[in-house]
Chain A
């Protein structure tokens, strides 16, 4: 078994001037120059020259062989989300490249910086339906921030530099570089690697308009019931400190989208909970009562807003975003504040008055008490013998003290984990928010562990999602990624079942999913584990999992027909949130 040591060697490109190297070597030199230490991938015919070159770069680049290209890109996403760096994935042409599409779409909608490098058939075969040829550029155009096909090796250094710059700058996103086999093999005179920091037609960060910041400050200073909603922009901008200073000075209650989760510690007195379909009662209802809504680095996703025509109609909206296309896209902004919130927040903080909004904050607290009584207490301490998902998360909180990275898949467990997991550090919540990709968590957790090797990484997965990418246990086995896996097994595709119960007259159409013996399967992959069916064993099992040296799989059998509440039914206003 290999260990999880990361390579920390310095880039070597500066010494390589005026030498003849292959396109493949140029790719690897570019990665090293961009400070990439870990690459996820899967070899194949059309990317073999790059893998051949990789053989000589083992001391500088760690390659993690995944079991499926989808696993590779989700791992790269997990890596990017915990490290704040660009995740890199290799795949071959044709099916290898098309297997990346889900991850690219996921990274695109969740603004995750990823560079995907795919092999392509020889340039002279392009467009001939050659073996394993697909038009990967056209297939991936709608799901990438930028993509480019290289047919000549001399282009490689500049194209890769551009790729990294585009992936990580402004609103981050996935970039795909497709390299034909001849370009990988071709030798050329290498003149070193120049990082890219300017592209004529690309303005990653809009110019901040001071007059709008001033206008925003005026609105905030005059507000009686201001409310902050924050998203991942705070984390992507590395603006956690600036954000906290802003809300602490203004005393404004702040609620998070699931991608904004962990940007502010859960127990912060101004943190009033989660927004959206399964968010908390107070922030949802009071969205429709606040007088000034300050949206920071979030994009008013429909899962957050519910019915747009009934969303915060009474409020003046201040929208801080780095992406001008997000302004007015869903919710009309009274004052837009373009720019990186790392820069705009301090400008705003300087102009706002120090205030406290105690009575207004108390409204959130009162509603939280109501939610506590009607929902949370029942979830945490169920009357039945069946365990609830919430009590598992609660027990995990007790043991990790909010210091773990939590990676979630998609479904009921995701909503429960996001609702109840506690965080004390940023970049601790990794989930597929926008695309809602089942099968995301296991490979993303592997990547998250490489992105944050010193932290405990716990993947929380449903029995359905786990079966979509469980082959990545093989990656864990081979590379020793010490990922802790909790399967919350209700023997159902729980979220769909919940909707069928509530909106389709309990017609449970194909949601009753049978699972294999997960613990035995894990054992087959050399991963330790156990299954827990009884509440009294839960805490000890979680403790054993966390203390185990290496990866561990814990299956927890939970209530078969538990529902996630509160819930804003689709087509309803956020104020119509249901507590049961």
Chain B
């Protein structure tokens, strides 16, 4: 059964790696719903957060192919229940319409939004949250002449994760410990992905 999976990849900070990882999806004709790259909690280690809609079998194979790349340290996959995730969105609306027709404070409170810029010609709000929350603010603003809307890629924290500091030590050691091959599993997802 297909469902949303969030893939978290810890990598070296290397030019061209984004392309190597993207190719793993494109050659299998898998659409990436969202992709974010950023520094991680560990200095020099980068973190990719990739969202796709696929079956677990496919996602597992993708993670193995990703981990096979020389500069990839680790790839994890999680369902939405296993992560805390957020997206950020910005909305540009005409100031005169908003000022005249909307109870702005109530709107901001209801959707957990903030005003980022207020000019005489336009106002920019931002909010963060799950997709539905972001979409519902967009719907609320649409009748008031929404000029521009943009949503960021997903960022996610794995609920059951102790972070990457300890694991990195094992990667840095010449002889890898058990943790390094944690993602090598045998139908033991529960046990293996114990984050």
Contacts and interface: CB of A to CB of B under 8 A. Distances in A.
A484 to B, nearest CB: 39
A206 B184 contact: yes
Given A202-B70, A325-B67, A207 B181 contact: yes
A323 B68 CA distance: 8
A251 interface: no
A145 to B, nearest CB: 7
A325 B64 CA distance: 5
A201 B171 contact: yes
A141 B67 contact: no
A282 B27 CA distance: 36
A473 B123 CA distance: 73
B181 A141 contact: no
Contacts of B172: 200
A212 B181 CA distance: 14
Contacts of B27: 142
Interface string B138-181: 00000000000000000000000000000010011010111011
Most chain A CB within 10 A, of B23, B72, B184, is at B184
A338 B181 contact: yes
A171 B180 CA distance: 18
A141 B64 contact: no
Contacts of A329: 61, 64
B88 to A, nearest CB: 29
Contacts of A212: 186
A145 B70 contact: yes
A interface, size bucket:
20 to 34
A203 interface: yes
A181 to B, nearest CB: 19
Report whether over half of chain A's contact residues are helix, strand or loop; otherwise say mixed: mixed
Contacts of B23: 141-142
Contacts of B61: 325, 328-329
B12 interface: yes
Interface in A87-138: 137-138
Given A141-B19, A325-B68, A201 B181 contact: no
B20 interface: yes
Contact of B70 (A198, A201, A325, A327): A201
A457 interface: no
A324 B168 CA distance: 20
B73 A207 contact: no
B64 A203 contact: no
A336 interface: yes
B36 to A, nearest CB: 20
Given A141-B19, A329-B61, A336-B186, A324 B181 contact: yes
Contacts of A323: 68
A324 B19 contact: no
A86 B73 CA distance: 25
A166 B68 CA distance: 12
Nearest to A138: B19
Nearest to A197: B174
Given A141-B20, A203-B176, A329-B61, A324 B70 contact: no
A323 B61 CA distance: 12
Given A198-B174, A201-B12, A206 B181 contact: yes
Most chain A CB within 10 A, of B23, B65, B186, is at B186
8 contacts: A137-B16, A141-B19, A141-B20, A148-B16, A200-B172, A201-B70, A324-B67, A325-B61
